[in-house]
């Protein structure tokens, strides 16, 4: 089982193509590409921490459908655009605003928002976040796991750490969505 991180998928959100200039011709292509990219990276037995802004706009049935299409055990850290329908959607193994956990022997602080300081910062804890859509200047031990910063695909901790050193290239969006 591998553990992945992502954020800011904004499924069904008509604003996202305009605001973030995502490279998709329309919202259905955007959503299909993100689902295809997710499933190309994540296996059914893997775990995915989604650090907020999963969806905005789809009704409860569409939210449940999107969640059912995505591989892995899905855990939501609530973002500012996650409304009641997203929080109540079937398919989340957990829903929280903030989590401290350990992955690959690294202590992690997970939240939708980037912090200036966080618990364990001085002892090597990493802050993984979304919300900023790749627009914040990184600080030590803090990583934006949002799709805009990570090539539109969930990423593993080892990939996140290597990316800061310039040793990994972000994945590119799926050319032809398969979902």
> What is the mean pLDDT of each successive set of 10 residues along the chain, which is 179 residues long?
97 88 92 98 98 92 96 98 94 98 96 96 95 87 94 95 59 41
CA distance 161 to 69: 28
- Beta 142-144 vs 47-50: how paired, if at all? unpaired
For residue 148, the model assigns a pLDDT of 93
If one counts every other C-beta atom within 10 angstroms of the C-beta of residue 124, the result is: 10
CA–CA distance, 63 with 43 (Å, rounded to integer): 20
So what's the architecture of 3-164 in CATH?
4-Layer Sandwich (3.60)
Q: Which sequence spans correspond to the domains of the chain? A: 3-164
Place of tokens 């202590």: 107
Specify the pLDDT at position 168.
37
Following DSSP, what letter does each residue of the chain receive, concatenated?
--EEEEB---BT-TTHHHHS--S-SSHHHHHHHHHHHHHHH--TT-EEEE-S--BSS--HHHHHHHHHHS-SEEEEE--TT--HHHHH-TTEEEEESEEEEEETTEEEEEESS--SS-TTGGGT-EEEE-SSTT-SPP-TTEEE-BTTTTTTS-EEHHHHHHHHTT-SPPPPPPSS---
Q: What per-residue confidence (pLDDT) applies to 110? A: 98
Determine the pLDDT at residue 101: 98
Q: Which residues pair with 126 in a beta bridge?
A: 108
Measured between alpha carbons, how far is residue 109 from residues 47, 103, 128, 141 in Å? 16, 11, 6, 10
pLDDT of residue 165: 61
């Amino acid at each position: 089982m591998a553990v992945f991180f992502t954020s800011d998928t904004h499924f069904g959100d008509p604003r996202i193509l305009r605001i973030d200039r995502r490279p998709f011709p329309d919202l259905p292509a955007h959503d299909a590409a993100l689902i295809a990219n997710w499933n190309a990276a994540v296996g059914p037995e893997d775990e995915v921490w989604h650090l907020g802004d999963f969806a905005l706009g789809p009704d409860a049935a569409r939210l449940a459908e999107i969640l059912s299409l995505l591989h892995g055990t899905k855990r939501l850290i609530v973002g500012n655009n996650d409304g009641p329908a997203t929080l109540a959607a079937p398919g989340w193994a957990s829903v929280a605003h903030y989590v401290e956990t350990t992955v690959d022997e690294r202590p992690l602080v997970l939240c939708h928002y980037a912090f200036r300081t966080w618990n364990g910062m001085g002892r090597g804890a990493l802050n993984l976040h979304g919300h900023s859509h790749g627009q914040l200047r990184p600080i030590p031990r803090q990583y934006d796991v949002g799709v805009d910063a990570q090539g539109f695909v969930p990423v593993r901790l080892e990939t996140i750490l290597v990316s800061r050193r310039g040793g990994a290239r972000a994945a590119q969006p799926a050319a032809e969505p398969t979902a």
